[in-house]
Amino acid sequence: MSSKELGQIHTVNFYNRIDPTVPEERILNYDVSGQLCAQLSRMVRQGNFFKLVGLDMNLTAAGTLGGGQVSGYIRYYAPTLGRCAAYRAAFAAARNAMKLQGINMSDNEMYDFRVGFNEQGVQGTGGTTIPNQATLDSTNPLSLVSTVDSVPSVFGVHNEGVLPTVTGVATGDLFGSGFNTLGVQGTPTDFVLNDSVLWTGSEHTASLEWEAIPFMMSWTPDTTDIATQFQFRPDPALYLAIMTGQLQVYLEEINLDGGATEIELTAAVQISGWSSIMGDPSKKKKRSSRGKRSRRKSKK
């Protein structure tokens, strides 16, 4: 497959002016689905995974003098089985709560179930909050992951109902040693060294750990005339699946040069399309298995 077979590419632009002395402004939330709604003049729902085929970022100083360097991470969540199930469960909870109050969410074309990336996206400043963020009590907003009680965690609530096969840290009994067939060992081996728990043993767990892409940029026109941009490109025949179309840029280090007090960060996110995560793949498998019927040819 060539890059031309991916289809139309939508470019979503983000601009942020950052004061390094304000910790909240070091966290930038890119709401791709929200920006596409305004760009395409139609509802682009958050309950999709978005196909990221490119990401460009550059850095300039705010004003006419100075420059700086930044480094950090671009965080995102990949659409796994457990994470998508958690999102659908939170959507169903909101739909049922609205139904109890006599509201049908489908009747309002302006409504879309939208949750934040994490609690930092809620508390941040500089336009980093998620518009029309969902809430179940009119006070506390929902986010995919959260470490504070005032921001309910979609993944965390889902995991409370998932029974893991393995818990804690392996203590040597994760793998069985079987029979002592060799006859020369005091204790049979389990054929594994450095025992550890790589996953919970349940594919329905919604992992709380985000995926991350590291980056570094520089802009110093007053001294050595260095301008370093960041460009991310997957393989031309592939794409990066971004759950709910949310990217969070975390600026870990910010250094200013030449008297600059603020920096400007511009990003262009390139999306080739999106696909819904609201369908349950397990139900599709059941329907397909029931739909298969064996046909026998009658012999005359």
Terminal CA-to-CA distance of the chain, rounded, Å?
49
Least confident of 71-85, 154-168, 244-258, 266-280: 154-168
pLDDT digits (tens, 9 = 90+) for 155-177: 999 999 987 777 666 655 677 77
pLDDT digits (tens, 9 = 90+) for 71-104: 999 999 999 999 999 999 999 999 999 999 999 9
- The two structure tokens encoding residue 65: 């003098």
Cβ atoms of 12 and 269 within 8 Å: the answer is: yes
Distance CA 14, CA 201 (A): 39
Distance CA 288, CA 132 (A): 37
User: Which is more confident, 260 or 36?
Assistant: 36
Q: How far is CA 206 from each of CA 65, 129, 160, 178, rounded to the nearest angstrom? A: 47, 23, 10, 33
Whether 45 shows a pLDDT value over 60: the answer reads yes
pLDDT in the model for residue 231? 94
User: Which is more confident, 124 or 196?
Assistant: 196
Q: Cα angle vertex 281, ends 168, 95, to 5°?
A: 85
- Band the pLDDT of 58: cuts 50, 70, 90: very high
Distance CA 82, CA 274 (A): 19
Distance CA 296, CA 109 (A): 50
- Band the pLDDT of 124: cuts 50, 70, 90: very low
Contact partners, residue 59, CB within 8 Å, separation at least 6: 67, 68, 69, 70, 217, 218, 219, 229, 263, 264, 265
The model's pTM? 0.84
Whether 193 shows a pLDDT value over 90: the answer reads no
